[in-house]
Chains A and B, each alone.
Chain A
Amino acid sequence: MIITLIDIALLTFMGATAIAILRLRSLFAVVMLSGIYSLLAASMFVALDAVDVAFTEAAVGAGISTVLMITVLSLTGERERAPGHSPILPMIVVTLTGAALIYATFDMPAFGDANAPVNLHVAPRYLNDSMAEVGLPNVVTSVLASYRGYDTLGEVTVIFTAAVAVMMLLGGRKGDDAGFKNEPEENSVADGDDPADDPADDPADDPSGKNGKGTA
């Protein structure tokens, strides 16, 4: 019972923090609240027995990603402008999607059900045999590194790729990136030339294409 109460309290805190993040305009406060949100999520994962996940979420969500976001705020400014368009359409879309998803949860197995399909397929094998096959007490490490080694190799490659991509985007000095920075101006020149060049090729298609671009 006490576990259920902790569960409900943490989830309610998470909901409240998420709504505060949505409503606040000061991005500094938003980033700080998202760190708190991650810490609450980590506590929630401990309550759900996922200690490894909680460990990672606390280190990553409350630590590294908060530092990264604050560093970016120092580069971009920390006030959000009021949204220019009405929130009615997004609200309708979100409400409909949420209602459909909640309707779908009634088909889900009950919370904590040991006989749910997800707990019957490979998990018993991992829990019963991994001590004999791999010999590590921490089943999460056995599955991560041994049974699902391919999967983890892929994830590590994704991290490597993301680091390379960030290097490509931010590696050079500000200003010496001719191709990237001058692109809008080059585009405008190209756009100006287009009507003169293209009618010979495709007189019917081009104006509509350009109009579509202008209005979008």
Chain B
Amino acid sequence: MRHHRVLRVVSKLLIPFIMLFALYVQFHGDFGPGGGFQAGVIMASAFILYGLIFGLENARKVAPPSVVTKLVAAGVLIYAGTGYAGLLKGANFLDYNVLGATPVGGQHLGILIIEFGVGTTVAAAMVTIFFLFAGRER
């Protein structure tokens, strides 16, 4: 795909907006449709588009596999860590009421953090899977 000028220019224009949209979906998921799962997939699709148009080598420079694979685990740890934070504050596992000053504030904070964890894992997992399939020799 290296010689398709239209694809290169259009994807360069689109990728920032795809990422911005992913962040919007991630943090606006409390109020409208969206959340960590969708945002993760959209964020991953930005990297996958970059990899398809500009080649796997360049995509690996933008998102180094060593970092991405660690992010897969980091998301799960963020999620479970939020659960343990509630445990340490004297409530049940994954009970967010105690995380903030008021129960509803705590719920907001807890949901924001775990949705971020979900988004991280999903995005990193999808990018990792794409790198592995695309990097396989014929």
Contact = CB atoms under 8 A, between A and B. Distances in A.
Q: Do chains A and B make direct contact within the complex (CB under 8 angstroms)?
A: yes
Interface of A: 51-52, 54-56, 59-60, 63-64, 67-68, 71-72, 74-75, 132-138, 140-142, 144-146, 149-150, 152-153, 156-157, 159-160, 162-164, 166-167, 170-171, 173-174
A205 to B, nearest CB: 42
Given A59-B45, A67-B48, A150-B94, A138 B33 contact: yes
B31 A137 contact: yes
Given A137-B31, A149-B94, A156 B111 contact: no
Nearest to B29: A141
B65 to A, nearest CB: 10
Contact of A167 (B35, B107, B128): B128
A132 to B, nearest CB: 8
A170 B121 contact: no
A72 B126 CA distance: 15
A72 to B, nearest CB: 6
A167 B69 contact: yes
Interface in B27-67: 29-35, 37-38, 41-42, 44-45, 48, 52
A163 B52 contact: no
29 contacts: A52-B33, A52-B34, A67-B48, A68-B129, A71-B130, A71-B133, A134-B111, A135-B108, A136-B31, A137-B32, A138-B33, A138-B34, A140-B35, A141-B29, A141-B30, A141-B35, A144-B35, A145-B111, A150-B93, A153-B76, A153-B83, A156-B75, A156-B118, A159-B121, A160-B121, A162-B125, A163-B128, A163-B129, A170-B133
Nearest to B108: A135
A149 B125 contact: no
Contacts of B45: 59, 63-64, 67
B98 to A, nearest CB: 13
A146 B107 contact: yes
Given A59-B41, A71-B130, A170-B132, A160 B110 contact: no
Contacts of A138: 29-35
B122 A159 contact: yes
Contacts of A142: 111
B73 A160 contact: yes
A136 B69 CA distance: 32
Nearest to A153: B79
Contacts of B35: 52, 138, 140-141, 144-145
Contacts of A134: 104, 107, 111
A142 B118 CA distance: 14
Contacts of A60: 41
